[in-house]
């Protein structure tokens, strides 16, 4: 894909971006009409190949993302790419997303999956490649084509993900237009994509402005905004593990995940021990003057983190604030007395800087965490480090966060890396955060569910109807569609007649034919092997190129594909006109 240029702004670029959005959405709509007919096996084969391709390119993509954006750490970007391509993939692989997905026999209800339609996927600059991999996988698993709108600062790396996964998807049989990516990215183009009539649903990950734009586009939308996650250390906690978990979460990819820790709240009884542990593992406690200096360079007048410091190391932030810190410093810790505009470092910071609060007990800690969540992280994520199950449950009951991770980093726990939560890179914030769901987003959120509902309580019961009367069982789910056709004996007779006109002797006796009483009404077994009479090549093949198709056309035969066969685009185009390729069942 062509590279995205940062320059060349103006009305011509806006118009080009709008036109590109329209074209990609229209192509995706065409693809949607094809992919909706795919079987579960075909969809899974496409997802398998895309995940495998993303795994193979995980490290180059990590390097490209850091080089292009300047955010984060290559090793951590690699972990996130592999998380999306491996752990998310392993989670969604067994999901049923085609046909009958659930049967509620006790209620006589059958649930059938229906794809939402074309997805507009908005991708952030902070986690560009991992989010793109993740959104493509969950969309295609749900049989939904997707069009990506990259953040302009990460256009090349996001486009590269789309290119890699498009190639893999095509080789596995996905129709053209299944994956699209805007290359001329402007605000106007992104808005056009979200509003386009062919787009059915929006997956938005980014800043609050972007998320609000997604929700105002007039389409169903899943949006995720800022996190500002607090981590509370209660007096019964394992102090060493709690401190290490918090530093691990805050320094992972230099804090660019929206669920990374932004504040630490500590019971005063253990405050000194916690401080000592933080210092031992690379924490540097700022003086009041240094707190002001860091706030001045890190927080903008709009109370947002400065883009120049997002995803940068603690040493770099200290250098920009003209503060001398030990070379082993991993995180800057700012002791604060309150939350809000008078305390700039109480916001989401997206770099290794932590606010630090001391409270009397868990009840005061509970209130402080609420204040922090209200100041920019409603509904998102927080952590509690404690061995007291009663306190842990109280936090679960009272906090306005929908992911409360226990004794683990918020960064890793929220996305399902170290917890049993659904693995995801888009985390719903529910009603508290202005989102439609509080779930970790998966293919299930890109499906509409149709329901067959059988009568279980007659509206006009017969005189002798009993409420306890047993209902007839639901019909069994067919393994394959039963299509109307010619009766078996009629078909055999027609075949015998046809072969006799060509000089072949028919040895099938209708009475002793395989088509006997044990044969299903619409199921026809194959004829005995007659080499010169069958145009189909019996052996399935694993790879087909254009020359193979030409030779098959010349020989008057067909090519039977193996289960995971690779067909080049040129071969598939040539075969389409002559109906030469036979797909596996």
Q: In angstroms, rounded to a whole number, what is the distance separating the alpha carbons of residues 149 and 199? A: 13
Residue numbers of the domain that contains 560: 535-585
Q: Is residue 528 part of a domain?
A: no
Angle ∠(535,536,542) on CA atoms, nearest 5: 145
Predicted confidence (pLDDT) per residue in 467-482, tens digit: 555 566 766 665 544 4
**pLDDT of 514:** 39
Residues 389 and 314 in one domain: yes
Residues 134 and 75 in one domain: yes
Euclidean distance between the first and the last CA atom of the chain, given in angstroms as a whole number: 34
**pLDDT of 434:** 81
Predicted confidence (pLDDT) per residue in 286-307, tens digit: 999 999 999 999 999 988 899 9
Q: Is residue 575 part of a domain?
A: yes
Q: Does the pLDDT value for residue 162 go beyond 80? A: yes
Q: Is residue 292 part of a domain?
A: yes
Which of these, 87, 69, 40, 46, lies nearest to 128 by C-alpha position? 69
Q: Is residue 247 part of a domain?
A: yes
Q: Which residues contact 358 (CB under 8 A, 6 or more apart)?
A: 266, 267, 268, 271, 335
SS3 409: coil
Q: Is residue 485 part of a domain?
A: yes
CATH number at residue 250: 3.40.309.10
Residues 308 and 261 in one domain: yes
**pLDDT of 520:** 42
Residues 157 and 273 in one domain: no
CATH number at residue 56: 3.40.605.10
Residues 304 and 370 in one domain: yes
**pLDDT of 404:** 95
Domain count, the chain: 4
Which of these, 110, 52, 177, lies nearest to 473 by C-alpha position? 110
The enclosing H or E element of 402 equals strand 401-406
Phi, psi of 448 (to 5 degrees): -95, 145
- 400 is written with which tokens? 């306005």
Q: Is residue 584 part of a domain?
A: yes
Residues 218 and 271 in one domain: no
Predicted confidence (pLDDT) per residue in 253-284, tens digit: 999 999 999 999 999 999 999 999 999 999 99
Residues 328 and 350 in one domain: yes
Catalytic residue among 144, 258, 351, 369: 258
Reading phi first (left if > 0) and then psi (alpha if -120 to 50, else beta), residue 224 is in beta
Predicted confidence (pLDDT) per residue in 36-84, tens digit: 999 999 999 999 999 999 999 999 999 999 999 999 999 999 999 999 9
Predicted confidence (pLDDT) per residue in 114-139, tens digit: 999 999 999 999 999 999 999 999 99
Q: Is residue 107 part of a domain?
A: no
Q: What's the whole-number average pLDDT of the chain?
A: 86
Give catalytic status of residue 181 as yes or no. Answer: no
Are 62 and 84 in contact by the 8 Å Cβ rule? The answer is no
> What pTM does this model have?
0.78
- 140 is written with which tokens? 């295609």
Q: Does the pLDDT value for residue 5 go beyond 50? A: no
Q: Is residue 168 part of a domain?
A: yes
Residues 411 and 395 in one domain: yes
DSSP letter string, 152-192: GGGHHHHHHHHHHHHHHHHHTTPPTTSEEE-SS--HHHHHH
Residues 218 and 273 in one domain: no
Residues 197 and 211 in one domain: yes
Residues 125 and 176 in one domain: yes
Residues 136 and 50 in one domain: yes
């Amino acid at each position: 894909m062509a590279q995205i240029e940062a320059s060349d702004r103006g009305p011509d670029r806006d118009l080009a971006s709008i036109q590109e959005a329209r074209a990609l959405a229209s192509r995706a709509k065409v693809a949607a009409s094809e992919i909706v007919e795919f079987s579960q096996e075909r969809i899974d084969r496409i997802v398998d190949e895309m995940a495998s391709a993303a795994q193979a390119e995980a490290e180059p993509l990590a390097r490209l993302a850091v080089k292009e954006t300047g955010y984060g750490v290559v090793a951590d970007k690699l972990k996130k790419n592999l998380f999306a391509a491996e752990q998310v993939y392993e989670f969604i692989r067994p999901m049923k997303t085609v046909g009958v997905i659930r049967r509620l026999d006790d209620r006589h209800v059958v649930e059938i999956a229906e794809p939402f339609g074309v997805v507009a996927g908005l991708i952030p600059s902070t986690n560009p490649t991992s989010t793109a991999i993740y959104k493509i996988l969950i969309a295609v698993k749900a049989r939904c084509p997707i069009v990506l709108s990259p953040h302009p600062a990460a256009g090349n790396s996001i486009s590269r993900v789309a290119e890699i996964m498009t190639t893999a998807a095509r080789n596995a049989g996905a129709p053209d237009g299944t994956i699209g990516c805007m290359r001329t990215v402007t605000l106007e183009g992104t808005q056009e994509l979200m509003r386009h009539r062919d787009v059915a649903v929006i997956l938005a990950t980014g800043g609050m402005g972007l998320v609000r734009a997604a929700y105002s586009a007039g389409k169903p939308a899943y949006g995720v905004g800022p996190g500002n996650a607090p981590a509370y250390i209660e007096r019964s906690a394992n102090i060493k593990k709690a401190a290490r978990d918090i530093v691990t979460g805050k320094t992972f990819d230099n804090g660019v995940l929206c669920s990374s820790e932004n504040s630490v709240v500590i019971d005063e009884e253990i405050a000194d021990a916690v401080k000592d542990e933080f210092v031992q593992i690379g924490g540097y406690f700022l003086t009041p003057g240094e707190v002001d200096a860091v706030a001045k360079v890190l927080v903008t007048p709009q109370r947002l983190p400065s883009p120049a410091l997002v995803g940068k190391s603690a040493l770099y932030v200290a250098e920009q604030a003209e503060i001398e810190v030990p070379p082993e410093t991993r995180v800057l810790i700012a002791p604060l007395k309150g939350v809000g505009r008078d305390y700039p470092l109480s916001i989401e910071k997206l770099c290794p800087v932590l606010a630090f609060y001391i409270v009397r007990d868990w009840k005061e800690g509970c209130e402080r965490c609420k204040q922090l969540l209200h100041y920019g992280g409603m509904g998102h994520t927080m952590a509690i480090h404690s061995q007291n199950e009663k306190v842990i449950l109280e936090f679960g009951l009272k906090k306005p966060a929908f992911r409360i991770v226990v004794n683990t980093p918020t960064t890793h726990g929220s996305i399902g890396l170290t917890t049993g939560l659904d693995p995801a890179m888009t985390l719903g914030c529910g009603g508290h955060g202005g989102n439609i769901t509080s779930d970790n987003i998966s293919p299930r959120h890109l499906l509409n569910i149709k329901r067959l509902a059988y009568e279980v309580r007659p509206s006009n019961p017969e005189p002798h109807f009993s409420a306890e009367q047993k209902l007839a069982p639901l019909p069994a789910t067919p393994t394959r569609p039963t299509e109307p056709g010619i009766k078996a004996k009629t078909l055999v007779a027609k075949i015998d007649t046809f072969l006799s006109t060509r000089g072949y002797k028919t040895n099938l006796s209708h009475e002793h034919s395989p088509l006997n009483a044990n044969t299903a009404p619409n199921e026809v077994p194959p004829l005995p092997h007659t080499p010169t009479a069958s145009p189909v090549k019996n052996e399935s093949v694993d790879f087909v190129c254009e020359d193979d198709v030409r030779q098959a056309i010349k020989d008057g035969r067909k090519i039977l594909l193996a289960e995971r066969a690779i067909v080049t685009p040129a071969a598939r185009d040539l075969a389409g006109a002559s109906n030469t390729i036979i797909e596996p069942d």
